[in-house]
Structure formats: C-alpha cells, structure tokens
Structure 1
Amino acid sequence: MYQVTLDPLAEEQAAAIPAEALRPLAELFALLEVAPWSGQPYNPANPKANMLTHTFGERGLATYMVLDEQREVYLIRVEWP
C-alpha cells in the first residue's frame, strides 16, 4: 500500500474544489493507495516515467509522482476547471 502525500500547492487546490468533487477526489486517493500506476503518463513520449495524471469525477485531473522505493504517491496538482 502506498501513502498519498500532497504538495502544499495541491493541498490548497484540493481545499478549493467544489463539494461535488470531494467524493471523487477521495475515491482517487483510495485508488492511488493500491494502484498508483493506474494513471496515464504525464509525458506520452516517456511512458515509463514515474510522473502520471489521473482523472477524477467529471472534470478533475490530478498530476502526481509515484515513488516506489518510499511507497509514496506525491500529488503535485489537483485541477477542477
């Protein structure tokens, strides 16, 4: 199991998303704890890199890094347009 850690910027962004996005974001966190590699490569030209994106809800996008040695998912950004 991986620990999900939020960058301070991602923490601010997550705190600012609307109430309708909170449940999908929580579901994403739960998924990332057990399947961190389930996202899409941040850079399609480098599909094996540890920086990924994952959608959540209807419009959300999370950008994160998988740190296998630390068993950590480091969330960089949370976007909800």
Structure 2
Amino acid sequence: MYSVELDPIAQQQAEALPTTAITAFLELRAALELQPGSGEPLAANNPKANMLTHTFGSAGMITYFVVEHLRLVYIVRVHWLG
C-alpha cells in the first residue's frame, strides 16, 4: 500500500473543488494507494516516466509522481475544468 500526499498548492486546489467533485477525488486518492501506476504518462513520448496524470469525475485531472522506494504517491496539481 502506498501513502498519498499532496503538494501545498495541490492541497489548496483540492480544497477548492466543487462539492460535486469531492467524492470522485477521494475515490481516486484511495485507488492510488493500491494502484499508483494506473495513470497515464504526462509525456506520451516517455511512457516509463514516473510523472503521471489521472482523470476523476466528469472534469477533473491530477498530476502526480510515484516514489517507489518510499511507496509514496505525491500529487502536485489538481485541476477541475467543470
């Protein structure tokens, strides 16, 4: 199991999510504890990179990286386009 942490900016962005997005964000966060590599590579030309993106809800996306030796998922940005 991995721990999930948010960058201070990502924390502010998560706190600003609309109430309709919070459940989907929390579900994704829980899923990343078990499957941190389930996202898409940030750079398509570097599929083995540890910087990933993952969508949530109808209009959300996070950007994160995985630190394998610490079993850590570090979310750097939370975007909501809705």
Class of the TM-score when normalised by the shorter of the 2 chains: over 0.9
C-alpha distance after superposition, 1:12-36 (max 9, x if no partner): 0000010000000000001100000
TM-score by length of 2: 0.98
Structure 1 residue runs of 5 or longer lacking an equivalent are none
What percentage of residue pairs aligned between the two structures are identical?
A: 53
Cα deviation for residue 53 of structure 1 reads 0.1
Between the aligned partners of 1:38 and 1:51, the Cα distance in structure 2 is 12
Distance apart, 1:66 and its partner CA: 0.5
1:24-71 per-residue CA deviation (whole Å, 9 max, x = no partner) reads 000000110000000000000000000000000000000000100000
| Structure 1 segment 40-79 matched on structure 2, within 5 A | 40-79=40-79
CA RMSD of aligned residues (A): 0.3
Amino acid at match of 1:59: A
2:4 is equivalent to residue 4 of structure 1: yes
Match of 2:80 in 1: 80
Structure 1 moving runs of 4+ over 6 Å: none
Aligned pairs, number: 81
Question: Which letter does structure 1 place at the counterpart of 2:3?
Answer: Q
